[in-house]
Structure 1
Amino acid sequence: MTLEATSPGANYGSTASGSSFYAAMRILPRDQREAMFQIYSFCRQVDDIADSHGPRDERLAALQEWRNDIDALYRGHPPARLADYVASVKTFGLKREDFLAIVDGMEMDVPQDIRAPDMATLDLYCDRVASAVGRLSVRVFGMPEEDGVLLAHHLGRALQLTNILRDLDEDAGLGRLYLPREALLHAGITSNDPSRVIAERALPKVCLPLAQRAKAHFEKSDEIMARNKRRAVRAPRIMSKYYHAILDLLLERGFAAPRTPVRVSKASRIAILLRYAFF
């Protein structure tokens, strides 16, 4: 699952999203908590590169430097900015390919802004910026391999699709459009201009099926968490409930313009934390 991913990219620096991430992670034992904050820090730094306003070639070069540093970490020669990661990689068996997948996902927005990707590309994007983070996270949480990978797959996609639906207007302001091309065409929308698409009257016909897809992923992730030890799934369950609440608010509000921002109330966030953090 993503560490509070929000489109564009994954915006790991978001204050609102960061609050629920910190709440979910603070309940973990120290070594797990430190590993999760390292993963979060890594994601935030590469995301900041992808979403910066610097020249695209410079951003691509900076992301390549991160790939080189990850390779050095796994060769036993960690650069200074990854020196603290050595213990976590060894203790939790964090995989090099998952770190690299996150960089690859952030890079998908760099050569040119994503606009109406086909469904396969959107799913790949979700896998890289969200489920790859989940694959690292479930190792830290101590989940069994098979169920951990499955949970990362489903919960990562559920969270990222929810982000995409929540941030339609914000992303359009940055020239990005993550809604799948097939869904747009099915609704009779032929443009891939973000500002035009988000004003289309047919937009709900695009968003509602995507919301249902997210709900199906939430349901699958709930099934996986229900059959695993409660302690191992406390943090992902908190993240799941928080984001499911966002999705419910989006469905209640609807997707027709004008769209008011949705936000889970402080009382609801506290209720989620109290219910799932200490059982």
Structure 2
Amino acid sequence: MTPEDYCQQKAAASGSSFYYSFLFLPPERRRAITALYAFCREVDDVVDECSDAQVAAGKLAWWRAELDALYAGRPQHPVTKALQAVLPQFALPQEQLLEIIDGMEMDLQQTRYLDFKALSLYCYRVASVVGLLAAEIFGHTDRRTLKYAHDLGMAFQLTNIIRDVGEDARRGRVYLPLDELKRFEVPVADILNARHSENFRRLMEFQIERAEGYYAQAMSQLPEADRKAQRPGLVMAAIYRTLLDEIKRDGCQVLNQRTSLTPLRKLWIAWRTWIRG
């Protein structure tokens, strides 16, 4: 199996909305974004699939060393070999890839966030940095596009947090800011024990409103000159905003179920959004 095949399988197996967003890209850009996505999946899986925090920390340290090897021209892993092939064409700074690992390490160090400011740092590292790297791969002529990419990454991560409240709680993690739980009178125990309430629904509607605000802010900052190049982000935004609508329509029942869209529906949204440009 070639490094490119490995990354393709990693991306396709996830069923992520991210995968559907770059189906229509030209081959060289699709190879680059698939390699980046496979890297993100590898380091994310370290945290999600490893129950021993020390072992997970050791694996993330290995990935840091592998990034050093990549930029020294001697990568060992299929994902870093795939990244090596695209580095001459696309500016993917090592510092930003390391920041993604920094974000994953936050999951090993804390399971609660006091306020949105603290959560924002996590979202920046695990999602906005990915958005900035993706914007470079898709291509841009205006630096305002990077602000769009930053805010779109925030919106995506907030959507993930909303969708995965119950799943994260079963891992002992609560990403919803504690000061907001207090404001809406939702005890942490209600989330950990999957107790849905009217207060919880109101709390989640507040989270959805914030995510929608980031989507709107991102779209307002995308220069028209870069809109066509950045269509993969617009595709993913269309899919994720549809997901938010579904969650809200279901009454924010995210503690005991994980709302998702079918692959066919994602493909339809992706095609429709791509055609519209």
For the criterion TM > 0.5, the same-fold answer is: yes
Given that residues 145 and 226 in structure 2 are in contact (C-alpha distance below 8 angstroms), is that contact kept between their aligned partners in structure 1? no
- 5+ residue gaps, structure 1, are 1-11
Bigger drift between 49-58 and 255-264 goes to 255-264
Structure-1 residue corresponding to 2:234: 237
Change (3 A) 1:73 1:16: closer
Structure-1 residue corresponding to 2:47: 50
**C-alpha distance in 2 between matches for 1:55 and 1:205:** 35
The 4+ residue runs of structure 1 with deviation greater than 6 A are: none
Structure 1 residue 276 corresponds to structure 2 residue 243: no
Bigger drift between 190-199 and 129-138 goes to 190-199
1:117-156, aligned counterparts within 5 Å? 117-144=114-141, 146-156=143-153
Change (3 A) 1:259 1:52: closer
Amino acid at match of 2:158: L
Structure-2 residue corresponding to 1:92: 90
Given that residues 225 and 237 in structure 1 are in contact (C-alpha distance below 8 angstroms), is that contact kept between their aligned partners in structure 2? no
Change (3 A) 1:72 1:193: farther
**C-alpha distance in 1 between matches for 2:258 and 2:33:** 29
Structure 1 residue 202 corresponds to structure 2 residue 211: no
Given that residues 203 and 256 in structure 1 are in contact (C-alpha distance below 8 angstroms), is that contact kept between their aligned partners in structure 2? no
TM normalised by structure 2 equals: 0.86
Change (3 A) 1:13 1:175: farther
Cα drift, residue 83 of structure 1? 2.8
Cα drift, residue 54 of structure 1? 3.8
1:171-186, aligned counterparts within 5 Å? 171-186=168-183
Cα drift, residue 14 of structure 1? 8.8
Bigger drift between 154-163 and 225-234 goes to 225-234
SS at match of 2:112: coil
User: Could you tell me the percent identity over the aligned residues?
Assistant: 32
In the TM superposition, what whole-angstrom CA distance separates every residue of 1:44-83 from its partner, at most 9, and x where no partner exists?
1111111123421111111011112212323x23322223
Change (3 A) 1:66 1:240: same
Amino acid at match of 2:106: M
SS at match of 1:232: coil
Change (3 A) 1:38 1:64: same
Amino acid at match of 2:192: S
Cα drift, residue 191 of structure 1? 3.4
In the TM superposition, what whole-angstrom CA distance separates every residue of 1:123-154 from its partner, at most 9, and x where no partner exists?
11111111111111000000236223212211
Amino acid at match of 1:97: E
**C-alpha distance in 2 between matches for 1:234 and 1:200:** 38
In the TM superposition, what whole-angstrom CA distance separates every residue of 1:237-273 from its partner, at most 9, and x where no partner exists?
1000000000111111222687554333556434322
**C-alpha distance in 2 between matches for 1:182 and 1:257:** 20
**C-alpha distance in 1 between matches for 2:223 and 2:274:** 15
**Which of 156, 163, 184 is the aligned partner of 1:187?**
184
TM normalised by structure 1 equals: 0.85
Bigger drift between 239-248 and 163-172 goes to 163-172
In the TM superposition, what whole-angstrom CA distance separates every residue of 1:154-179 from its partner, at most 9, and x where no partner exists?
11111111111111111111111110
Given that residues 167 and 255 in structure 2 are in contact (C-alpha distance below 8 angstroms), is that contact kept between their aligned partners in structure 1? no
**Which of 106, 109, 112 is the aligned partner of 1:108?**
106
Given that residues 134 and 152 in structure 1 are in contact (C-alpha distance below 8 angstroms), is that contact kept between their aligned partners in structure 2? yes
Structure-2 residue corresponding to 1:8: none
Structure-2 residue corresponding to 1:213: 210
Structure 1 residue 157 corresponds to structure 2 residue 129: no
Change (3 A) 1:126 1:192: farther
Amino acid at match of 1:79: P
User: Number of matched residues?
Assistant: 265
**C-alpha distance in 1 between matches for 2:139 and 2:254:** 43
Given that residues 116 and 177 in structure 2 are in contact (C-alpha distance below 8 angstroms), is that contact kept between their aligned partners in structure 1? yes
Given that residues 66 and 75 in structure 2 are in contact (C-alpha distance below 8 angstroms), is that contact kept between their aligned partners in structure 1? yes
